[in-house]
């Protein structure tokens, strides 16, 4: 009976029973994705600056 109650509570919270599941994990995924996107854009901007200043010297 207790296992059934735990399963029902987990289903209500959106947790699939795995470690780190649920809404908090989904929020973490979005934060990590945003950091990767921002980091990629910063890196791409740095490469573009290198190409710009490298091409200017010729």
Residue 24: the pLDDT is 72
Residue 47: the pLDDT is 97
**Domain ranges for the chain:** 22-58
Give the model confidence (pLDDT) of 33-51 as tens digits: 999 999 999 999 999 999 9
Whose CA is closest to 22, among 37, 4, 10? 10
- Other CB atoms within 10 Å distance of the CB of residue 15: 17
Please check whether residue 10 is in contact with residue 17, taking contact to mean a CB–CB distance below 8 angstroms.
yes
Residue 57: the pLDDT is 72
Residue 25: the pLDDT is 77
- The beta strands (E) that lie in the chain are given as none
- Residue 21: strand, helix, or coil: coil
């Amino acid at each position: 009976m207790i296992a059934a109650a735990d399963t029902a509570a987990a289903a209500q919270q959106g947790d699939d029973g795995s470690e780190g599941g649920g809404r908090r994990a989904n929020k973490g995924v979005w934060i990590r994705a945003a950091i990767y996107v921002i980091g990629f854009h910063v890196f791409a901007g740095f490469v573009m600056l290198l190409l710009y200043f490298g091409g200017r010297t010729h």
